[in-house]
Amino acid sequence: MKKKVFSIASLVVLLLSVLAVTTAASQKDSEMEAYGKYIKSLTDSKQELLEVHDDALVEGKNNKLSSTNSGKHSEKTDKSEKTDNLIKKNEFKILTYSLQHHEGLSKKESKKVARDILIERKATYKAAKKAGITVSEEEINQEIERRLNVDYGEKFDQLLDGLELTKEEFWSDYKYDQVVHELTVRKLYEQETGGKVKKSEKWQKKLQEEIKDYKEGNKNKIKEFDSEQGIE
């Protein structure tokens, strides 16, 4: 009888242990959903989440806006995008959150790294514009179609759940700017290097100079942004 009691008690302990591990795994898996919810919390509506694009490098485009509520978008942008769009505040918050929660950086480090990434992205855009690089709607649509056919796994689905977006909305609207940016950088790289390693090293050096010049030309805006965000 004692043996049976011991055996049942052991089973209960084992089941509780399994439950604890399963719950912990479930909580970890839901981190991406929490990330999506955080991003969504930064906007007033789904429309606002999807409509803000920078089409300076898209052929024949000028500040692409959603066809609905564009007036409201303009008003919102004027209020929220200080420092002449040097760094979009929500982009900064989202990247800072990701660096903290997914890369393990401290809050202080996350802010500095996020600022540098976004400034360098802007500088790269400027370098591409100077080089006459643009991407066509056809190229963008082809890239979006390619991404729609990729299975990004469960964590990506959890992110979509948190954002309350479909895969199509995610790539065609929410990540539109990222698609344009990556295509632009790819075309700039190909134009400058032709895929050759020696030229690639030279181009990287040239790009770093462009970034340095961009930072120098915007040092007062960067200083203002750092002050607003508590970056030392």
Q: From the CB of residue 187, how many other CB atoms can be counted at a distance below 10 Å?
A: 17
Q: Where are the domains of the chain?
A: 2-229
Give pLDDT, residue 209.
92
Instruction: Give the integer Cα–Cα distance in Å for 57 and 81.
Output: 20
Residue 109 to residue 115: CA distance in whole angstroms? 10
**What pLDDT was estimated at residue 114?**
94
Q: Among residues 45, 56, 88, 52, which one has the least CA distance to residue 70?
A: 52
Distance separating alpha carbons of residues 16 and 19, to the nearest angstrom: 5
User: Does the pTM exceed 0.85?
Assistant: no
pLDDT in tens, the chain (232 residues): 444 444 444 444 444 444 444 444 444 448 899 999 999 998 877 777 776 554 444 555 543 333 333 333 333 333 333 334 678 888 899 999 999 999 999 999 999 999 999 999 889 888 888 889 999 999 999 999 999 999 999 999 999 999 999 999 999 999 998 899 899 989 988 988 887 877 888 888 888 999 999 999 999 999 999 999 999 8
Q: CA 194, CA 187: separation in Å to the nearest integer?
A: 10
pLDDT for residue 138: 94
Q: 185 and 101 in contact (C-beta within 8 Å)?
A: no
